[in-house]
Structure formats: structure tokens, C-alpha cells
Amino acid sequence: MAVKDLNDALLDLMKDLLHAEKQLTKALPKMAKKAGHDELRQAFESHLEETQEHVTRLEQAFEAMDEKPRTKVCHAMQGLIEEGEEASQEAEEGSTRDAMLIAAAQKVEHYEIASYGTAVVWAQQLDQGKVAKLLHATLDEEKEADEKLTQIAESGVNVAAENE
């Protein structure tokens, strides 16, 4: 699809985000399984439920724009997930692996925060209030997930990894 205007750009970004979120629904259970720290495992499991809701919200956003929900391959998310898988395979089981899982997950969150932030602003610019509201709800949850990961890292995982 040729991107001719801001509306097309928003739809293109939403397609990318939909694919990214669907990739995460497959990656998060694997990350939870590899996590040794209970709070980290629970955070991944909780974020999986949120990610499934993010897919639903994106589908609703497409519908609000009278568009069929479609995906576009999100190469960035593919790379971030692959990088995280490599890191978790290279590290032995323990707090160092958990620290690496947190780092990988935060890279994902930061990508999503940047993408959703852009999408919200574009939707607002286009007077797509319902779309902006849906996307903003997800943006808020992505920020909360990032903060939770920081809290888990700082409350013990990083110190335990340092002492391994």
C-alpha cells in the first residue's frame, strides 16, 4: 500500500503494531517459562493477558476507521524477540538470565511506547478520537509494564545477578 497521507501512515503503523502484538502473544509464554524469579514470571504472564487485550483494541481501532484489521510484518519486533531469545539461551539459569530477560522485555516495551505514542498523536491530529482513546489505553499499559520491569530489576534481580 502506498502511503499518501497521515491517515494512511496511521493505518500502516497500526498494521505494524497488530503484527507486533501478535508476535508477543507467542513470545511472552516462552519468556515466562524461562524466568526464574517468581515476580518476573508473573509480570510476563500478566502482560500476556494485557497483550491479548492490545490486539482486541487495535482491531477495534481499525473498525472505528471503517477498515478491516490487517497486519504488516513488524521486522523490528521480530528482531527484538530474536535478540531476547538469543540472550536467554546464552545465559545460564538464574538471576543473570532474569536480568537479560528484563532488558529484552524493556527493549520491546520501549519500541511499543514509541510506536503507540506516535499513533496516538496521529489519531488525535486526524480527529479520530475513539482510535486515539483505544491506542492511549494501550500506551498507558505499556508504560506501566516498563515501570514494573524496572521495579523487579531494581528490587533484587540485578543485585542477585551481580552476586552470581
Beta strands in the chain (DSSP E): none
Average pLDDT of the chain? 95
Tell me, what's the pLDDT at 1?
65
pLDDT tens-digit map of 132-143: 999 999 999 999
Residue 103: alpha-carbon gap to chain centroid: 13
Q: What is the DSSP letter of 91?
A: S
Rounded to whole angstroms, the Cα distance separating 79 from 84 reads 9
| Run of H or E including 88 | helix 75-90
Is the CB of residue 95 less than 8 Å from the CB of residue 35? no
Residues of the chain scoring pLDDT < 70: 1
Rounded to whole angstroms, the Cα distance separating 117 from 130 reads 15
* Global confidence as pTM: 0.94
Is the CB of residue 134 less than 8 Å from the CB of residue 111? no
Tell me, what's the pLDDT at 101?
95
Q: One-letter amino acid identity for 65? A: M
